């Protein structure tokens, strides 16, 4: 109760924009969002930028993705790269466990994601919303999972909208091992690197069958982590798997 009062009081105070330092009500001002988060055409299944009217990139046409769709809000580039780093830093500074952390940046990122109608639609159709889990040692070291923070903000009640039926679940998908950084690896190496990185909680596997699942991550490089998680969900019978990330590394070829 007391915490909620403090949060309400804090949200009513003016705040400095994390990008341009202008004063406003939110951590990101509308002008910066408009300037740096303009929507671009992207491949339906790997979210790499596309020119022309094609729905999928050549790589996804050649090797169809295990994902039904992948939607991202922005490129992992200025200013979002430093804000994502700040999300981790702020959260670490405020952390009181997995659910701790300063939610204001995650809330802004979720708000930018919700400006994309495809993301709103994916959330409306979902049964389960799953943040991509960190391996246990990584989670213990960091104290929280920023994908979880963004997922929670994506499902936060919106004024004037009916509450989504989707539920946030962190008990279905397990990260069974940490993986080496994906940077610099080729397509086949990345897939091998991610093999068996995820599994379903055996006791809850049946809940995934025939369900519509939305996976949430903060950043995706090549979607190979999201694809590995999706493959585990597919093997348990998930009917639809859509991945959402706030940002995607722009230069990486799929």
**Residues interacting with Zn ion, by CB under 5 A?**
17, 19-20, 22, 29, 32, 43, 46, 57, 60, 254
Residue 72 C-beta: closest distance to Zn ion, Å: 12
Asked whether 214 and 124 are in contact (CB, 8 A), the reply is no
Nearer to Zn ion, 124 or 252 (CB): 252
41/195 with CB nearer Zn ion:
41
Smallest gap, in angstroms, from Cβ of residue 54 to Zn ion? 9
Least Å from the CB of residue 185 to Zn ion: 18
- Alpha-helical runs (H) found in 117-241: 117-125, 136-142, 146-154, 187-194, 224-235
Q: What is the dihedral of CA 59, 72, 101, 36, to 10 degrees?
A: 120
> How many CB atoms are located within 10 Å of the residue 129 CB?
24
Is the CB of 20 or the CB of 92 nearer to Zn ion?
Answer: 20
Name the DSSP letter for residue 72: E
Q: How many Cα atoms sit within 13 Å of 57 on the Cβ side?
A: 19
* Nearest approach, Cβ of residue 199 and Zn ion (Å): 26
Phi, psi of 32 (to 5 degrees): -70, -40
Minimum distance, C-beta of residue 109 to Zn ion, in the bound complex (Å): 14
Compute the least distance from the CB of residue 172 to Zn ion, in Å. 26
Cβ-contact 122, 207 below 8 angstroms? no
Q: Which is nearer to Zn ion, 57 or 208 (CB)?
A: 57
What DSSP string runs through 33-75?
Answer: HHHH-----B-TTT--B--SS-SS-HHHHHS--SSSEEEEEEE
Q: What are 129's strand-pairing partners?
A: 168, 214
Q: What angle, 0 to 180 degrees and rounded to 10, lies between the N-to-C axes of helices 224-235 and 187-194?
A: 50
d(CA 154, CA 121): 12
The nearer residue to Zn ion, 31 or 235, going by C-beta atoms, is 31
User: Which of 46, 228 has the CB closer to Zn ion?
Assistant: 46
Q: Which is nearer to Zn ion, 68 or 127 (CB)?
A: 68
DSSP H or E segment with residue 120: helix 117-125
Least distance in angstroms from the C-beta of 31 to Zn ion: 6
8 A C-beta contact, residue 226 and residue 214: no
């Amino acid at each position: 109760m007391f915490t909620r009062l403090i949060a309400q009081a804090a949200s009513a105070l003016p705040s400095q924009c994390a990008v341009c330092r202008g004063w406003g009500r939110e951590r990101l001002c509308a002008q910066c969002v408009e300037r740096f988060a303009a929507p671009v055409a992207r491949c339906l299944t790997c979210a790499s930028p596309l020119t022309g009217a094609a729905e999928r990139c050549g790589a996804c046409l050649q090797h169809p993705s295990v994902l039904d769709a992948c939607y991202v809000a922005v490129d992992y580039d200025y200013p979002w790269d430093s804000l994502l780093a700040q999300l981790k830093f702020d959260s670490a500074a405020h952390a009181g466990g997995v659910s701790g952390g300063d939610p204001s940046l995650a809330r802004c990122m979720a708000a930018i994601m919700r400006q994309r109608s495809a993301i709103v639609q994916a959330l409306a159709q979902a049964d389960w919303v799953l943040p991509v889990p960190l391996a246990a040692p990584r989670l213990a070291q960091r104290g929280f999972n920023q994908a979880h923070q963004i997922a929670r903000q994506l499902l936060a009640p919106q004024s004037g909208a009916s509450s989504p039926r989707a539920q946030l679940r962190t008990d279905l998908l397990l990260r069974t091992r940490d993986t080496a950084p994906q940077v610099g690896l080729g397509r086949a190496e990345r897939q091998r690197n991610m093999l068996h990185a995820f599994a379903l909680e055996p006791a809850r596997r049946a809940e995934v069958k025939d369900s519509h699942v939305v996976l949430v991550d903060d950043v995706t490089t090549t979607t190979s982590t999201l694809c590995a998680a999706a493959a585990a969900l597919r093997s348990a019978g998930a009917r639809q798997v859509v991945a959402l990330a706030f940002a995607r590394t722009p230069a990486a070829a799929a």
